């Protein structure tokens, strides 16, 4: 059974803190993605990775960075959290480079105060 897990379901952080969101998949997929989801704006791609140590910017990379040291793990980093980064963060993995058949984790609801 396909499995993508995210380190936290709910997280509350203060403005200026460095925040790490972890994602792990057990499907041996090469391709992993980070999105944020906001009401009225839908899913927006932050970063994606085609392979270990590879990363590509998505549509809204500003204020974020990523790390992919191992194939199964893809981390999203908020360098200095701000209130406008309060959102639902979703990680996904896919067997294809363009991300068809993406499998999503349960999401992390991040609140920055």
Per CB under 8 A, residues contacting another protein are 4, 33, 40-43, 45, 48, 58, 90, 92, 97-107, 109
Backbone angles phi, psi at 68, to 5 degrees: -135, 90
Q: Enter the tokens of residue 55.
A: 């990363």
Closer to another protein by Cβ: residue 73 or 109: 109
Closer to another protein by Cβ: residue 9 or 18: 9
Q: How far is the CB of 108 from another protein (least distance, A)?
A: 10
Q: How far apart are CA 28 and CA 72, in angstroms?
A: 7
Q: How far is the CB of 77 from another protein (least distance, A)?
A: 20
What does the radius of gyration of the chain's CA atoms come to, in whole angstroms? Answer: 13
Closer to another protein by Cβ: residue 11 or 45: 45
Closer to another protein by Cβ: residue 41 or 80: 41
Q: How far is the CB of 107 from another protein (least distance, A)?
A: 5
List, in sequence order, every beta strand (DSSP E) within the chain.
4-6, 10-13, 19-25, 31-38, 42-49, 56-57, 64-70, 73-78, 87-94, 103-104, 108-112
Backbone angles phi, psi at 106, to 5 degrees: -75, -15
Q: How far is the CB of 80 from another protein (least distance, A)?
A: 26
């Amino acid at each position: 059974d396909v499995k993508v897990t995210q380190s936290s379901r709910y997280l509350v952080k203060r403005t200026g803190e460095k925040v790490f969101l972890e994602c792990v998949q057990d499907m041996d997929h090469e391709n992993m993605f980070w999105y944020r989801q906001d009401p009225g704006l839908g899913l927006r791609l932050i970063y994606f990775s085609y392979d270990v140590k590879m990363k590509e910017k998505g549509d809204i990379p500003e204020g974020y960075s990523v790390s992919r040291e191992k194939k199964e793990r893809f981390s999203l980093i908020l360098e200095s959290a701000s209130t406008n980064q309060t959102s639902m963060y979703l990680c996904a993995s896919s067997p294809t480079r363009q991300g068809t058949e993406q499998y999503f984790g349960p999401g992390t609801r991040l609140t920055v105060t």
